[in-house]
Amino acid sequence: MLDLLAALLSGGCATHQIPADSCQETGLSQAFLAFDLPLIDKEEEREKVIDRIIEYVQSAKHATGERVRYPGERTLEIRKQNLDEGIPVEPLIWQQVQEL
């Protein structure tokens, strides 16, 4: 959705129009958002709004029955796991990298 909005608002290329060769990347779409939160002026109130939204998202169930997660929810957990155990790589891909 953000790609669509950026392309329409800027008149630039959408993601699917960007060439694979990074040297030929021109006319890309960019849109910048700035937010002013005067209606929720107290940090405590903002935290309550955030907590209610997260609770609502997490209360939904995926069609498979799994809990729905918001984007980036597991970032810190995955980072810690990767630091502790290393970054997971498919064995076949790792073998191909080592053969380079």
- Residue 17, pLDDT score: 87
Task: Tell which residue, 43, 11, 13, has the closest CA to residue 28.
Answer: 13
Query: pLDDT tens digits for the chain (100 residues)?
Result: 888 888 888 888 888 888 888 788 788 888 788 877 776 667 788 888 889 999 998 888 888 888 888 888 999 999 999 999 999 999 999 999 999 9
Distances in Å between the Cα of 32 and the Cα atoms of 41, 42, 70, 71, 86 are 23, 25, 22, 19, 35
Geometric angle at alpha carbon 60, from 54 and 66, rounded to 5°: 110
Question: Who contacts 18 (Cβ-Cβ below 8 Å, separation ≥6)?
Answer: 25, 28
At 61, give phi and psi (nearest 5°): -115, 135
pTM reported for the whole predicted model:
0.45
What's the pLDDT score for residue 89? 93
